[in-house]
Structure 1
Amino acid sequence: MLSEWHGHLTHNLRRSPHTVRAYVATAERLLRFEGVTPEWDALAGAEQQILRHYLADRRIDGLSNTSTARELSAIKSFLKFCRERFGKTGQSAPRIRGPRVKKGIPRAVTPDEVVNLTELVDESASEAWIGARDRAVLLLLYGSGLRIAEALSLDGEALPLGDRLVVTGKGGKQRTVPVLPLVREAVEAYIRATPYTLNPKQPLFRGARGGRLSQGTVQRAVARARHALGLPPTATPHALRHSFATHLLGAGADLRSLQELLGHASLGSTQIYTMVDAATLLDVYRNAHPREAE
């Protein structure tokens, strides 16, 4: 059952490896829970009460509201798969309301901080080509608004870079993003420096041993540079994508265009950046207004 669920998430829904691991782990916990019968027909007709007991048990384990909401989402997705697998697509799902989760405001970094971060990551790398690689990746996140997984999934067929780049995002959806001259130059500098031959069907960004560069490697490089620069823990690779959105919005970009550039399925996901921009303005006001200074 878990193997089929894994395959469905990976090949049919095209979820990220992180999501696949989390959803499969949730399904495994559910199948082992007392009172749950690990059979397709039983799960297809799972009752609301047993699911409530499962979630209550998870909350006792110390799960936060956010984690509980994710767990519930994974369960609903798994049970939907069970109903489809057993031919009960017409049967309604158990109605369970998850905990309220307050949406956090993404924390952007300033343009100067982006420059300092990318330069230090470049300078402090163990080898020159690795520094050029990491700088190119980070500038793609900030300059084109890519998710880190999107940048690292690029293959050599994306070369040579023009002023636009087609990327594949969540759910296999493609979108076109701009490539600024600075970003293009950084990628070209990496290409000249890398010891590996970049073939169209092989990864663009390589790890030290030649395989596809991992997210963890980039995150660790940023963490070291962040600590050296005294930046907050929120200054992560993903924060560069937030900064791309925040700075564009602050410069007058409209929400619909920003939604397309970020690859958001709904406008609601993009609207959170209006809160970010308002928060930035409030910080400026507090730091500069004469009455606030008093």
Structure 2
Amino acid sequence: MSVSVPAIISPSEPLAVRQADADQELVATWVARHESPHTVGNYRRQARRFLTFTERPLREVRVCDVQAFLATLSAKAPATRANATAALKSLLSFGYDIGYLPLNVGKMVKAPAVKNTLAERIMEEADATRMIAIEPDPRNRALLTLTYGAGLRASEVCALRWRDLSARDGAGQVTAFGKGGKTRVILLSANTWRTVAAISGDAGPDAPVFRSVKGGALSRVQLHRIVKAAAARAGLSPDISAHWLRHAHASHSLDRGAPIHLVQATLGHASVATTGRYTHARPSDSSARYLGI
């Protein structure tokens, strides 16, 4: 592994100060390994809260310290506790793997079970298509169409440049640079391609596909506002976000008979097991239907 072990920065400082500096360097190195701004911000907050709570160097942290910190979150939702647990386990494992920590105390801590709420975040196909169809703004309609039609993540949509889209076989394709630094090419339907190509105008290859009013690339915050406004216009749940359209793509394509490995490749899932969650969230049959009640 190429990651260096954080050093004690200033020998002239008291030991506690030097150790705190080294802990902060470890946290900074650990956080820098993640590309998602959301993950980086979340992990940095979790580490800061934990270090403030324990008031001791990471090298002296024990299992009971981690458990005591997580106990302070007992009133929080299971997903919040699971998120904090995952962050701490990742930090402590990283510190141990690079030789900075003598023990991986996080290995002994288990995250709480979290209810799978995926089924609650899947739209009906008719709702998704209506939300897109009644969007009056051409740019926003193209944005919604491509997000749903290609199953893109919010960050992938916002990062698109016109060089990432090209015509192909009477329709088109989009090249997405996604999670984990992976690139994938997604073939688009003819309708999706026409809708997106119609807003290109005289844009150059390096211009953002979806521009903000200031001329730069649309931000994820702006994307979510557009999606929520479209959902409200269609009389749908205020909880709907851009990621719901990605969920909808997976679920609806599987409902229509798309092979699960193809959906996996389109969405960029690392494992087919991840894609398989959609079949469990919306099963096509159940033994309950075979009973006489």
Task: Give the AA of the match of 1:36.
Answer: E
Identity %: 29
Task: Give the AA of the match of 2:40.
Answer: V
Q: Find out whether 1:68 has 2:81 as its counterpart.
A: yes
Match of 1:144?
A: 150
Match of 2:126?
A: 112
Match of 1:22?
A: 42
Structure 1: distance between partners of 2:160 and 2:97:
33
Match of 2:193?
A: 184
Contact 1:147–1:241 (CA<8 Å) still a contact in 2? yes
Contact 2:131–2:230 (CA<8 Å) still a contact in 1? yes
Contact 2:95–2:101 (CA<8 Å) still a contact in 1? no
CA positional deviation for 1:142: 1.4
Task: Give the AA of the match of 1:50.
Answer: D
Structure 2: distance between partners of 1:91 and 1:31:
17
Task: Give the AA of the match of 1:117.
Answer: M
C-alpha distance after superposition, 1:100-140 (max 9, x if no partner): 1111134333343223212333x1xxxxxxx2222222111
C-alpha distance after superposition, 1:33-78 (max 9, x if no partner): 1x332xxxx314521000000000122xx32111100111111122
Task: Give the AA of the match of 1:270.
Answer: T
Structure 1 residues 89 and 171 mapped into 2: Cα distance closer, same or farther (>3 Å)? farther
Contact 1:2–1:27 (CA<8 Å) still a contact in 2? no
Structure 1: distance between partners of 2:28 and 2:188:
35
Match of 1:127?
A: none
Superposed, which structure 2 residues align to 1:100-179 within 5 Å? Answer: 100-106=113-119, 107-121=121-135, 123=136, 131-162=137-168, 163-179=172-188
Contact 2:26–2:95 (CA<8 Å) still a contact in 1? no
Structure 1 residues 173 and 90 mapped into 2: Cα distance closer, same or farther (>3 Å)? farther
Match of 2:4?
A: none
C-alpha distance after superposition, 1:231-273 (max 9, x if no partner): 1234332221112111211122222222222211222211111
Aligned length: 263
- Give the helix-richer structure, 1 or 2: 1
Structure 1 residues 241 and 88 mapped into 2: Cα distance closer, same or farther (>3 Å)? same
CA positional deviation for 1:187: 1.6
CA positional deviation for 1:6: 4.5
Match of 1:51?
A: 66
Q: TM-score, length-normalised on structure 2?
A: 0.79
Match of 2:281?
A: 276
Structure 1 residues 7 and 207 mapped into 2: Cα distance closer, same or farther (>3 Å)? farther
CA RMSD of aligned residues (A): 2.8
Between 173-182 and 66-75, the greater mean CA deviation after superposition: 173-182
Structure 1: distance between partners of 2:34 and 2:186:
23
Structure 2: distance between partners of 1:46 and 1:266:
34
Between 231-240 and 257-266, the greater mean CA deviation after superposition: 231-240
SS at structure 2 position matched to 1:160: strand
Contact 2:59–2:102 (CA<8 Å) still a contact in 1? no
Contact 1:256–1:267 (CA<8 Å) still a contact in 2? yes
Structure 1: distance between partners of 2:184 and 2:271:
14
Structure 1: distance between partners of 2:238 and 2:110:
32
Structure 1 residues 44 and 264 mapped into 2: Cα distance closer, same or farther (>3 Å)? farther
Structure 1 residues 253 and 90 mapped into 2: Cα distance closer, same or farther (>3 Å)? farther
Task: Give the AA of the match of 2:68.
Answer: H
Q: Find out whether 1:80 has 2:93 as its counterpart.
A: yes
Structure 1: distance between partners of 2:28 and 2:161:
25
Structure 1 residues 44 and 203 mapped into 2: Cα distance closer, same or farther (>3 Å)? farther
CA positional deviation for 1:161: 4.4
Task: Give the AA of the match of 1:265.
Answer: A
CA positional deviation for 1:25: 0.6
